Amino acid sequence: MAEKEISILDREEIERKEILKRYKSLLRSIRHELTNEQKKEIRSAFDLALDAHKDMRRKSGEPYIYHPIAVAKIAASEIGLGTTSIVCALIHDVVEDSEYTNEDIRRKFGDKVAKIVGGLTKIQDVFDHTDSMQAENFRKMLLTLSDDVRVILVKLCDRLHNMRTLESMSRKNQLKISSETLFLYAPLAHRLGLYNVKTELEDLAIKYTQKEAYKEIGLKLNAKKAARDRYIKKFIEPLKSSLDESGLTYEIKGRPKSIYSILKKMNNQGIAFEQVYDLFAVRIIIDSKPEREKADCWTAYSIVTDIYKPNPQRTRDWITTPKSNGYESLHTTVMASDGKWVEVQIRTKRMDEIAEKGYAAHWKYKNNQDGVASAKTDGVDGWLSRIKEVLDNPSTNALEFLDDFKLQLIHDEIYVFTPGGDLKKLPVGATALDFAFEIHTEVGNKCIGAKLNNKLVPISHVLSNGDQVEILTSEKQYPKEEWLNYLVTGKAIARVRNYLRESKREAADLGKAILKKKFGKDKVVFNDDNIQKVLRYFKVNSPLDLFYSIQKGLISQDKLDIHFIVNNKIKTITKSDSLVKQNSTNKTNKKEIIVGEDKDLDYTLSKCCNPIPGDDIFGFITIGEGVKIHRTNCPNAVSLMSNYGYRVIKAQWQDSLVKDDKKFIAGIKIIGIDDVGIVSSLTDIISKNHGVNMKSITIESNSGTFEGTIALFVDDTKHLDLLIKSILEKHPTMQISRVDLNS
């Protein structure tokens, strides 16, 4: 017993020393000079966190306090945030995980810290599962962005550390957390200019959602590293001599592409790793005075394009017009001497810091005294202003709100001019109607068309870079449901939805009066129970929809026999009933998959991604169709797991599947050189050589090449891989990739 007690004491002493060591490392990582007052505040936050988490451990078994210290260190060293953010990072889980309240935080650290910590504290109330609880968490966090962007920055630090330590979590939580990361946090980091954070979040996410692909690409990148380094060295040698002669002070280096971006290119283009040539970019970073930045970057561009021939369609000038997240750089893609395309990025030290550190660096330069940088970093504030417009008008539906917000994150930008020459930034794909709402809500509401470069176009016309747009309005115009089909900006969509919702509510009030009158005429009590019976009779979702349908004539008043409806027995289908209802026509007969811990639970294979044995999978509890099995890299997986994490259930293929006549549908896409007999050759390999049946085959020929999709019945992923290998052995120039059939 004494030995055991000594070992516990020894462990506690070792951990105490390790905690202090990590705390001192945090202090050393802080980039700015700390005043005595700031040191005391950080120490006070550390002591509070230490006390609040003293009996807590992470899934890995480590003391929980390691986590807030690590989050604070990321905030300080990797993003460059200040004292307030470091304090908030240290105590971000205190209110949620201990008896300390937000009021305690307010008394000890003030209103600002209390507000940020409040935004970081997860919602613990139980929400109606018609909306996602996780979406409610997102909404609460994002709404605090209206007050202080540091909520999001600290949350990103928290998410990054959680992703770095995800190994110890269950498989279900790995999938859920990784999907949330891809769905919201990585785009948020990108939009706030945190390139390094965004890249690491994406790579760590696919490490768990697409394990095999991540591992395979990582191994291939490492195997080619030496050859890649030699290639970069050879490429930059002539650039160095010319840059030296120009008198510029510079640094030049190669930057490898992330695993996520390589995998995305492979999937989008249907190509193998070996066919991705731009595995790296060359970056030239110039030490420039503020007034010389633009001239020096264009000087470097001129040197690069004198030596290597540029692709004019791949030149991007984000120095003259920076991105909304403050990003400034010149990008060009040039042809190297061996005929390969290489991307070259040119920027100054200030631009590079903003590109790497994002909003924190933007704020630093915005508030310095030179004034030149300040004028160039206003784009971030413009984006935040547009975001706040969405946040200030949240819809009642959490998922709808999240969609509106996400629209602000994912699009690239175009630049469009008003008739007076004012520049407006809009997402790619924005229409004339989006532009109208960008000017003002009332202009959008009354928009009937536009003049595009003096030519009349409809409100649905998609705008291009450099367009000059004049909006035409009419007092008789008003928003319509169909407008939502060709709007892409969150602001415009939110405004139209609000208008339609309000109009529907007004119509519903009139419909309610009609129904109430009908109840009175039929001498039936107008109460909730009887209204529910009418809802079920007409199969309408809500009282609002019922009242609206009556007012608009979608439910004829002739059919409103209230006495008959209320006094007849109508079966009520509860949510729990519908949750377990199975679609018997689409059930699998044999249980190839263990769902949760149950070998006998019914499930169906999702048609959106057609999983086959060998695929990494998860189960999703649907309303009305039981458990559906999806691949973890399914097009819908990220959205399902991030928005409805509570409905995700573990699923895995049986270790030893009984080999019988059971086949699974898989799709492959083939691109190649068109030739006489190509279809016959493909079908011979598939059907004769491998005995594989085809469900369908579609081949289209165009200018000497062909593209085709084939749906096959296969045993598992190994069977499919063997078949693809056989086709490539006979036709090595073909490009073959697996596709989702969406059948």
489 CB-side CA count, 13 A: 31
Q: Which CATH architecture has domain 218-376?
A: 2-Layer Sandwich (3.30)
Q: Which residues are catalytic?
A: 96-97
Q: Please state the CATH superfamily assignment of the domain spanning residues 12-199 in this structure.
A: Hypothetical protein af1432 (1.10.3210.10)
Helix (H, G, I), strand (E, B) or coil at 305: helix
pLDDT (0 to 100) of residue 644: 74
What are the backbone dihedrals phi and psi of residue 452, each rounded to the nearest 5 degrees, phi first? -105, 110
Rank 358-362, 434-438, 488-492 by mean pLDDT and report only the highest: 434-438
- In the chain, which segments carry CATH 3.30.460.10? 218-376
d(CA 589, CA 78): 53
Instruction: Read off the pLDDT of each residue in 651-655 and give the average, rounded to a whole number.
Output: 81
The torsion of the CA quartet 55, 61, 65, 67, rounded to 10 degrees, works out to -150
Of residues 138 and 462, more confidence is placed in 462
| pLDDT tens-place string over residues 278-302 | 788 899 999 999 889 999 999 999 9
Is residue 1 predicted with pLDDT exceeding 50? no
pLDDT-based confidence at residue 332 (cuts at 50, 70, 90): very high
| pLDDT tens-place string over residues 178-235 | 988 888 888 888 877 788 899 999 999 999 999 888 999 999 888 888 888 888 889 9
pLDDT (0 to 100) of residue 43: 94
pLDDT (0 to 100) of residue 2: 47
Q: Are 88 and 150 in contact (CB under 8 A)?
A: yes
Is residue 473 predicted with pLDDT exceeding 50? yes
Q: Are 140 and 401 in contact (CB under 8 A)?
A: no
C-alpha to C-alpha distances, 177 to 92, 202, 275, 643, nearest whole angstrom:
18, 12, 31, 11
The H or E element containing residue 81 is none
d(CA 105, CA 96): 12
pLDDT (0 to 100) of residue 678: 85
**One-letter amino acid of 355:** A
Contacts of residue 207, defined as CB under 8 A and 6 or more positions apart, other chains included, come to 178, 214
Of residues 31 and 59, more confidence is placed in 59
- Whether this prediction's pTM lies above 0.85 is answered by no
Contacts of residue 279, defined as CB under 8 A and 6 or more positions apart, other chains included, come to 221, 224, 228, 256, 257, 262
Of residues 712 and 657, more confidence is placed in 712
pLDDT (0 to 100) of residue 124: 40
pLDDT (0 to 100) of residue 568: 66
| pLDDT tens-place string over residues 119-169 | 777 544 333 333 445 555 666 656 655 567 788 888 899 999 999 999 988
pLDDT (0 to 100) of residue 281: 87
Q: Which CATH architecture has domain 664-739?
A: 2-Layer Sandwich (3.30)
C-alpha to C-alpha distances, 395 to 157, 261, 556, nearest whole angstrom:
28, 33, 30
- In the chain, which segments carry CATH 3.10.20.30? 381-497
Q: Which of 736, 138, 87 is nearest to 399 (CA)?
A: 138
Residues facing residue 628 across a β-bridge: 604, 620
d(CA 406, CA 582): 33
Q: Are 294 and 322 in contact (CB under 8 A)?
A: no
Is residue 734 predicted with pLDDT exceeding 60? yes
Q: What is the maximum span of the chain, computed from C-alpha positions, in angstroms?
A: 96
Is residue 358 predicted with pLDDT exceeding 70? no
Is residue 372 predicted with pLDDT exceeding 60? no
pLDDT (0 to 100) of residue 651: 86
Give me the numbers of helices (H) and strands (E) for the chain, helices first please: 31, 21
Of residues 377 and 213, more confidence is placed in 213
**One-letter amino acid of 699:** I
Instruction: Read off the pLDDT of each residue in 685-709 and give the average, rounded to a whole number.
Output: 85
Of residues 461 and 546, more confidence is placed in 461
Q: Are 119 and 188 in contact (CB under 8 A)?
A: no
What are the backbone dihedrals phi and psi of residue 284, each rounded to the nearest 5 degrees, phi first? -110, 120
Of residues 429 and 200, more confidence is placed in 200
Report percent pLDDT > 70 for the chain: 82
pLDDT (0 to 100) of residue 260: 92
Of residues 376 and 635, more confidence is placed in 635
413-417 vs 309-310, strand pairing mode: unpaired
Residues facing residue 666 across a β-bridge: 712
Instruction: Read off the pLDDT of each residue in 681-694 and give the average, rounded to a whole number.
Output: 87
Order of strands, sheet of 735-739, starting from the edge strand that comes earlier in the sequence: 694-702, 705-714, 664-673, 735-739
Q: Are 467 and 452 in contact (CB under 8 A)?
A: yes
pLDDT (0 to 100) of residue 380: 53
Is residue 388 predicted with pLDDT exceeding 70? no
- In the chain, which segments carry CATH 3.30.70.260? 664-739
pLDDT (0 to 100) of residue 250: 92
Helix (H, G, I), strand (E, B) or coil at 188: helix
Instruction: Read off the pLDDT of each residue in 525-531 and give the average, rounded to a whole number.
Output: 83
Q: Which of 458, 460, 507 is nearest to 482 (CA)?
A: 460
Q: Which CATH architecture has domain 381-497?
A: Roll (3.10)
The H or E element containing residue 131 is none
pLDDT (0 to 100) of residue 86: 93
Contacts of residue 120, defined as CB under 8 A and 6 or more positions apart, other chains included, come to 88, 92, 141, 151, 154, 155, 158
- Inter-axis angle of helices 2-29 and 66-73, nearest 10: 10
Of residues 703 and 531, more confidence is placed in 531
pLDDT (0 to 100) of residue 299: 94
d(CA 189, CA 162): 15
Is residue 577 predicted with pLDDT exceeding 50? no
Cβ density class 309-325: b for 16+ within 10 Å, e for less = ebeeeeeebbbeebbbb
Neighbours of 24 (CB within 10 A): 10
Tokens of 83: 């004292």
Report percent pLDDT > 90 for the chain: 20
d(CA 450, CA 436): 9
Q: Are 107 and 86 in contact (CB under 8 A)?
A: no
d(CA 463, CA 80): 38
- 12-21, 425-434, 569-578: least confidently modelled range: 569-578
Unique residue bearing structure tokens 């068109």: 674
pLDDT-based confidence at residue 386 (cuts at 50, 70, 90): low
Neighbours of 453 (CB within 10 A): 12
Tokens of 308: 């290597």
pLDDT (0 to 100) of residue 129: 37
pLDDT (0 to 100) of residue 401: 55
- Burial class for 281, CB neighbours closer than 10 Å (0-12, 13-18, 19+): middle
| pLDDT tens-place string over residues 542-552 | 788 888 888 87
Is residue 87 predicted with pLDDT exceeding 60? yes
pLDDT-based confidence at residue 377 (cuts at 50, 70, 90): very low
Neighbours of 532 (CB within 10 A): 14
d(CA 495, CA 65): 44
Q: Which of 499, 434, 421 is nearest to 471 (CA)?
A: 434
pLDDT-based confidence at residue 688 (cuts at 50, 70, 90): confident
- 379-393, 485-499, 664-678: least confidently modelled range: 379-393
d(CA 646, CA 648): 6
Q: Which of 444, 432, 507 is nearest to 474 (CA)?
A: 444
The torsion of the CA quartet 405, 406, 407, 409, rounded to 10 degrees, works out to 110
Q: Chain-wide mean pLDDT for the chain? A: 80
Instruction: Read off the pLDDT of each residue in 44-68 and give the average, rounded to a whole number.
Output: 90
- In the chain, which segments carry CATH 1.10.3210.10? 12-199
pLDDT-based confidence at residue 45 (cuts at 50, 70, 90): very high
pLDDT-based confidence at residue 40 (cuts at 50, 70, 90): very high
3-state secondary structure 426-490: EECCCEHHHHHHHHCHHHHHCEEEEEECCEEECCCCECCCCCEEEEEECCCCCCCHHHHHHCCCH
Q: Which of 70, 50, 97, 87 is nearest to 157 (CA)?
A: 70
280-286 vs 341-348, strand pairing mode: parallel
d(CA 260, CA 199): 8
